Amino acid sequence: METGLLFQLVLNGLIVGALYGVVAMSFVLIYKASQVVNFAQGEFLLVGAWVCWWLLTTWQLPFWAGFLVTLAFMTLFGVILQVVVLRPLIGEPVISVIMATVGLSIFFQALMKWMFGVFAQPFPPIFPVERVRILGLEVQSVYLMSLGISLLIMLGFWWFFTWSKHGLAMRATAFDQQVAQSLGVSVPRVFAMSWAISAVVSAVAGVVVGVVNGVSSALSFYGIKVFPAVILGGLDSVVGAVLGGLIVGVLENLAQYVDAEWLNWGNMYQVAPFYALILILLIKPYGLFGTKTIERV
């Protein structure tokens, strides 16, 4: 086995996995705060990336301005979704809530295809593309940027939930809604805020992927890849989400390698995480870091 290729694959996996980790983190954020399993997480990436692309190409805004407007838009987008669609469904069975987010997912996927077409569109060049050598491995600078931004977001999350007032209010709500309410935390506001933050963070990830690979409806697949990551890490653990994302990223690349070398099945890159998902669900359904609810099914 060529060790060089293997290292390269692992590194690629870590770079993609960091992005999965970021998306998984924002998924877990919504789940922890409002107990909603968001099947429309990938559409946050999609909408964010398309909006940013549109501002940059049609309106010719400079990148920083377009990016800031995108973030503002996504904040609004997240809050509106929560208030209009999810708030009326509070107290409904899990199935209804899941279905509502599934409905959102196909609605926005189709809307984006309608507005921007089905073909991948490249971002206007923002960063010079060059190859950098690290530890004897060739890496494109955009990938490094993507890794850097992922790490920055994770650091931001850590700061937000450990030190900021709103982050603490969110953790309190996730821990016990009634207690948080009696301490003066506005639970509806926390719900709306969690959706806004999740949408914004996912949009950043979407823009990063867009800059690297171009914007297309394939972005929404990140929302599906989130499930193996969060199940592996545990549905309600932010650390687990990051770790799960990294593992899934590496697993994909290794599966592709194994497939290309020995199996020749093709398509393992896409499917391997789902085999892993089924296995984890059968063996350890609460994941590596998830809270074990003691109940026998």
Partner 1 sequence: MSGMTPAGDFRSSYRADTTIFPTRGSRVALLIGIAILCTCPLMLGRYELGLLITIGFMGIAALGLNILVGFTGQISIGHAAFFGFGAFASALLAEHHVPVPIAIWGAGLMTAVVGLVFGAPAARLKGLYLAIATLAAQFILEDFFARARWFTGGVAGRITEPYTVFGVSFDREETYFYVVLAHVVLMFLAAANLMRTRDGRALVAVRDHYLSAEIMGINLAYYRTLSFAISSFFAGVGGALYAHYLLFVSVEAFNILFSIQFLAMVIIGGLGSVMGSLMGAAFMVLLPELVQVGADLLAGSAIDRALKLGASISFLREMVVGAAIILFLIFEPDGLAHRWRLVKAYWKLYPYSH
Is the CB of 105 or the CB of 150 nearer to partner 1? Answer: 105
Residue given tokens 């193996």 in the structure block: 228
Q: How far is the CB of 58 from partner 1 (least distance, A)?
A: 16
- State which residue, 114 or 163, has the beta carbon closest to partner 1: 114
- What's the CA angle centered on 149, arms 11 and 197, to 5 degrees? 125
- To partner 1, the closest distance from the beta carbon of 210 in angstroms equals 20
User: Using CA atoms, how far apart are residues 232 and 242, in angstroms rounded to an integer?
Assistant: 10
Residue among 43, 13, 241, 234 at smallest CA distance from 139:
13
Cα 213 from Cα 101, distance rounded (Å): 26
Question: At closest approach, how far in Å is the CB of 63 from partner 1?
Answer: 29
Supply the minimum distance, in Å, between the C-beta of residue 109 and partner 1: 7
Minimum CB–partner distance for residue 283 and partner 1 (Å): 10
List phi, psi (to 5°) of 86. -85, -30
Minimum gap (Å) between residue 275 Cβ and partner 1: 7
Q: Nearer to partner 1 by C-beta: 181 or 259? A: 259
169 or 238: whose CB is closer to partner 1? 238
Q: What residue spans of the chain are helical by DSSP H?
A: 3-34, 41-57, 63-81, 94-116, 141-163, 165-175, 177-182, 187-213, 221-233, 238-258, 268-283
Given the complex with partner 1, which of 66 and 228 has the nearer CB atom?
A: 228
Toward partner 1, which CB reaches closer, 37 or 254? Answer: 37
From first CA to last CA, the distance across the chain in angstroms is 44
CB atoms within 10 A of CB 138: 10
Select 109 or 253, whichever has its Cβ closest to partner 1: 109
In the complex with partner 1, which residue's Cβ is closer, 12 or 105? 105
Using the 8-state DSSP alphabet, how is residue 121 labeled?
Answer: B
5 burial via Cβ count (<10 Å: 0-12, 13-18, 19+) = exposed
> Contact 168/190 with Cβ under 8 angstroms?
no
Is residue 32 within 8 Å of residue 189, measured between CB atoms?
no
Count Cα atoms within 13 angstroms, Cβ side, for 173.
26
Closest distance to partner 1 from the beta carbon of 57 (Å): 18
Q: Would you tell me which residues interact with partner 1 (CB under 8 A)? A: 37, 85, 88-89, 92-96, 98-100, 102-111, 113-114, 224, 227-228, 231, 235, 265-267, 270-271, 274-275, 277-278, 281-282, 285, 297
Name the minimum Å distance from CB 18 to partner 1: 22
